[in-house]
Chain A
Amino acid sequence: SAVISQKPSRDICQRGTSLTIQCQVDSQVTMMFWYRQQPGQSLTLIATANQGSEATYESGFVIDKFPISRPNLTFSTLTVSNMSPEDSSIYLCSVLRQANYGYTFGSGTRLTVV
């Protein structure tokens, strides 16, 4: 399976600021995704990161709040903008490799907004 490096692993941020999370994969992947996991909850898909074009957002998530970039087939960033305490959560990068259907997850970024 793909090896994913996700940074930072955790951060404490002031409300109103922004944080950019990076996801680097060791090989080219077909698809990259960003998920949010609130404490004690399931994983909710934020968006699909599309290489070279705008991300595809799920209902309830918008580009102004969660801008995403994917400049190539191995790297993506998620920015959490104008943060509020409600954004405190774990954010996870996930990738899908071609030729099999296995989705692999990064180790996550634990974000606390104060």
Chain B
Amino acid sequence: GENVEQHPSTLSVQEGDSAVIKCTYSDSASNYFPWYKQELGKRPQLIIDIRSNVGEKKDQRIAVTLNKTAKHFSLHITETQPEDSAVYFCAASRGSQGNLIFGKGTKLSVKP
């Protein structure tokens, strides 16, 4: 089955700096790679996703890159703000035919 590795487990940055979180996956059939943000006591919220036919996707300060050959994908957050502080999870699936498998999460702290 699919295995998703996520690094780092914790990340602390100064406000305004960039943050990068990296994930690798094992199942070459996976074709959908979402990122979720989870604030304390709340449900995971989708912040951006990418499909296997795309190498990069941006949404304002957030971007995701995908390297299918190397089986890794990354989340990039620019100009970080204190409200970006949360736990971020990467995940992978075979899209409409599969379930979603999560990485272990990255706790991001943005210091004012």
Size of the chain B interface, CB-CB below 8 angstroms: 22
Q: Are B96 and A43 in contact (CB under 8 A)?
A: no
- A96 contacts the other chain (CB 8 A): yes
Give the Cβ gap from B4 to chain A, nearest Cβ, in Å.
Answer: 9
Chain B 72-112 interface mask (CB, 8 Å, partner A; 1/0)? 00000000000000000101010110011111110000000
A-B contact number at CB 8 A: 51
Given the contacts A42-B89, A43-B44, A107-B43, A98 and B96 also touching, CB distance less than 8 Å? yes
Name the residue on B nearest A45 (C-beta).
B99
Q: Are B99 and A101 in contact (CB under 8 A)?
A: no
Q: Are A105 and B43 in contact (CB under 8 A)?
A: yes
- B7 contacts the other chain (CB 8 A): no
- Cα A31 to Cα B91 in complex, Å, equals 17
- A92 contacts the other chain (CB 8 A): yes
Q: Are A106 and B43 in contact (CB under 8 A)?
A: yes
Chain A 95-114 interface mask (CB, 8 Å, partner B; 1/0)? 01010011111111000000
Residues on B with C-beta less than 8 A from A48 are: 99
Q: Are B102 and A43 in contact (CB under 8 A)?
A: yes
Among A30, A44, A96, A105, which residue has its beta carbon within 8 angstroms of that of B44?
A: A105
Q: Are B93 and A102 in contact (CB under 8 A)?
A: no
Residues on B with C-beta less than 8 A from A31 are: 96, 99
CB pairs A–B below 8 angstroms (6 shown): A43-B89, A45-B99, A45-B100, A92-B44, A98-B96, A101-B51
- Give the A-binding residues of B (Cβ under 8 A): 1, 32, 34, 42-46, 49, 51, 89, 91, 93, 95-96, 99-105
